[in-house]
Amino acid sequence: MRKTLLLFLFLLGLTSCDLNHNEEHIIDVISNEFAKDMKQRGFLLSSCGGGLGKNFKIMVGFNCFGKVHVAKARRIGVESALEMLKKYNINKKFKEKTPYYPLKVKDIVILIGFKGENGCFVNSDYVANMGVARDKIYYQYCDKKTGKLTKFHEESFEEALRIVEAEKADSKNSL
């Protein structure tokens, strides 16, 4: 009886590892597709990661060369998050093979650093770094003297989405 129980636990462990490996593979494939799409828009993948299980998160980081103010950074963050969610949620394997479907904003982290030609964060007149995390979007500037990033604005993702949608509606109405 004891040998049967040990064999059962061993096989269960192997099955669990296979499931996690399959989940990781599916997530990696979709994240790579998302990174390729972002590269076509001028964003270079700088980091990726995440975690499975109870603390499930998918994290991607990008660098972009250019100067943006909050409105443009907000639009980039909202559009990137929506695109990432869509990539995952329309993927049949992700839906069928993982317990994380449907993916929500709270499940992702997107970080985007805005850099100058010298490769350093842009100066404090612009957004140097922005992130979508924990259902919020935050914006940081780079202190000219210390070079440290400092958060100067934060808003809920829903609030940012409403602002972006209102700006799009206004631009359509003005045409």
The DSSP secondary structure of 68-136, one letter per residue, reads --HHHHHHHHHHHHHHHHHHHHT-HHHHHH-TTPSP-GGGEEEEEEEE-TTSSBP-TTS--EEEEETTE
The rounded mean pLDDT for the chain is 87
Amino acid code (one letter) for 1: M
Structure tokens of 51? Answer: 């975690």
* Domain membership of residue 38 as a residue range: 2-173
Domain total for the chain? 1
**3-class SS at 18?**
helix
Confidence label for 149 from pLDDT (cuts 50, 70 and 90): very high
What confidence tens digit (pLDDT) does each residue in 80-116 have? 999 999 999 999 999 998 899 999 999 999 999 999 9
What confidence tens digit (pLDDT) does each residue in 33-42 have? 999 999 999 9
- Checking if the pLDDT of 3 tops 60, the result is no
Single pTM value for the model: 0.84
